[in-house]
Structure 1
Amino acid sequence: MENITGQVKGGKPKAIKDPRSFKISDYLAIHQLQIPDAHDWTAAKKNKWDVFGNNRLYNCTCAAAGHMIECWTANASSAFEITEEAIVNTYITLSNYDPITKQNDDGVYMLDALKYWRKNGIEQHRIRVFATVPHDRREIVKASIYLFGGIYVGLQLPNSILKQKIWEVNPGELTGDNEPWSWGGHAVAILAYDKQHLTCIHLGKEQKMTWDFWETYNDEAYAIITQDFMEGDKNPLGFNLEAMERDLMELTQAKIRLTNRLAQEKSEKY
């Protein structure tokens, strides 16, 4: 993100991992699903995308959440235009940013934002479950975008994007302007894909990137189950998200029981 002094600094810190997080690849049976080669959830959005203050604050993690909420509601229920005030206040809560002194404008971990979003909501919009998406398995990425109305992702952007209309991997080594993080870390909502590109929302505009760029510069991605993407008990595609949520919870509980049992067996062995 370009700040008002002209310095470049990303709004997303490097990814942190939580071993308790769901893995969407453990749940999706790709061979049983018919995932189209292209899908675009942005088409339902009639108004312009908001920047949510991300042109002056390092709050991309919260801004991307706002874009997800607006896309989900535009497709599944009645479109909800979340306010910049709500996004900035969420950022203040998570980062301790002081709008008077401008202190603590250092960005927010995506995992912290997800946990806050699930527990407290953003302008009364709460998520239910989130699961990690492997960046190097295209069919899983496509399925996650298609089934869940987009994915919430972190990128380690290179300076090379400053000269690109479509983000792509420049020839040569990943050094200099091609080096990951040389522009900074950035959180975005990816809301569309086709055979050549994925489309995210970047500073209030739809931005395409190649699949190679995605696979080179992504460092975290999440699929999210939320009531915002449901019409009654199903999403716009007719999938029962209540059942998916229940199955994910059961899967996780089974994993926890297995992990605890293995740890106990190891302890007893020694």
Structure 2
Amino acid sequence: MAFKLGKGTVKRDTRTYKIGRVLATRLPDVPASKDWSAGVPYQMWGNDRFGCCAFASYAALTATWTKAAQGLVLLTTSTVLSAYAEVTGFDPKTGDNDNGTILLDQLNHWRREGLPRPGQPGRDYLTAFGSIAPTDVQGIKRSICYLGGVLAGVQVPRGFMSLGLGETWDLSKLSGADLAPEGGHAIALTGYTAAGVFFNTWGMRTFMPWATFTQIADEAYGLLSRQNWLGIQGFSPNGEEFDSLLAEVRAA
């Protein structure tokens, strides 16, 4: 089976919220482990054929959030490819312009214009997002625990491209040419333990140690999704009240 990459060069914007600092003040304590990913039916979402990893991550986060907070929403591959096309100019019919995605461009589009999602209200709008230093393990944990997930970008070592689906990504198992970066990839972080992080890639719940993540990750974002992460009563699955946290993020 082919595995496609597709994360573009990291783009920085000084206006991007530093959500790690906000969560450290607002939600200082994190449990030793939290896993929203168990039992979520992740799919390939076209990432075996196209470099749509950023939008496969969108689908994985949507499934993770809604399964925990409301009722599972599972996007189709055609919806994922439509989102990829909308943001980047990719042509799903011909496969042209399959050039990957700059994550900051995706996130800004998701927040301002929304991304395609069947049903009512018909578009998915990200409420807010903020950057987290990939080496800030506690910040990553907080965002997974309290916001339901993190969109991360990594530089995939060559040796990981030949692993089986769902096989642990562990840099300590690689050597020589296998350590060379193959390219950028977007992944959805959806759970963690003291030892490492669970993430979705190529349709499978996968694990990597923290030492691996902090070495290969080059960007990470905590995402606030009012549309997907809140239940009927307006609270997250952890019981947090959303609007006060959002106000603090926007004031940061």
Post-superposition offset of 1:150: 0.9
The SS at the match of 1:143 is helix
Partner Cα distance (1:248, 1:118) in 2? 14
Partner Cα distance (2:194, 2:21) in 1? 24
Aligned-partner residue type, residue 137 of structure 2: R
Q: Does 1:26 align with 2:21?
A: yes
CA separation of 1:31 and 1:91: change in aligned 2, threshold 3 A: closer
Post-superposition offset of 1:195: 1.2
Contact 1:67-1:201 within 8 A present in 2 as well: yes
Contact 2:26-2:245 within 8 A present in 1 as well: no
Partner Cα distance (1:211, 1:13) in 2? 23
From 45, 50, 72, the counterpart of 2:43:
50
Number of equivalences:
241
Post-superposition offset of 1:30: 5.6
Contact 1:44-1:74 within 8 A present in 2 as well: no
Aligned to 1:92: 85
Post-superposition offset of 1:109: 0.7
Post-superposition offset of 1:205: 0.5
CA separation of 1:10 and 1:172: change in aligned 2, threshold 3 A: closer
Partner Cα distance (2:202, 2:195) in 1? 22
Q: Does 1:212 align with 2:214?
A: no
Contact 1:189-1:201 within 8 A present in 2 as well: yes
Aligned to 1:168: 170
Contact 1:44-1:75 within 8 A present in 2 as well: no
Aligned to 1:257: none
CA separation of 1:103 and 1:31: change in aligned 2, threshold 3 A: closer
Which is worse superposed, 81-90 or 162-171? 162-171
Aligned-partner residue type, residue 73 of structure 2: F
Post-superposition offset of 1:139: 1.3
CA separation of 1:32 and 1:199: change in aligned 2, threshold 3 A: closer
Aligned to 1:126: 125
| Gapped regions of structure 1 (runs ≥ 5) | 4-8, 252-270
User: Cα deviation per residue 1:199-225 (whole Å; 9 max; x = unaligned)?
Assistant: 111111111111111010001100011
Aligned to 2:62: 69
User: Cα deviation per residue 1:124-145 (whole Å; 9 max; x = unaligned)?
Assistant: 2211100001111211111111
Q: Output aligned runs, 1:98-117, within 5 Å.
A: 98-117=91-110
| Gapped regions of structure 2 (runs ≥ 5) | 118-122
Post-superposition offset of 1:19: 0.9
Aligned-partner residue type, residue 217 of structure 2: N
Q: Output aligned runs, 1:139-150, within 5 Å.
A: 139-150=138-149
Post-superposition offset of 1:99: 3.2
User: Cα deviation per residue 1:175-217 (whole Å; 9 max; x = unaligned)?
Assistant: 62202x32x2110101011011211111111111111110100
The SS at the match of 1:2 is coil
Partner Cα distance (1:64, 1:193) in 2? 17
Q: Does 1:235 align with 2:236?
A: yes
Higher relative contact order (CA 8 A, sep 6+): 2
Aligned-partner residue type, residue 147 of structure 1: Y
Aligned to 1:151: 150
Larger Rg: 1
The SS at the match of 1:246 is helix
Aligned to 2:120: none
RMSD: 2.0
Partner Cα distance (1:29, 1:19) in 2? 20
Aligned to 1:79: 72
Contact 1:21-1:131 within 8 A present in 2 as well: yes
Partner Cα distance (1:36, 1:65) in 2? 25
Partner Cα distance (1:236, 1:99) in 2? 35
The SS at the match of 1:28 is helix
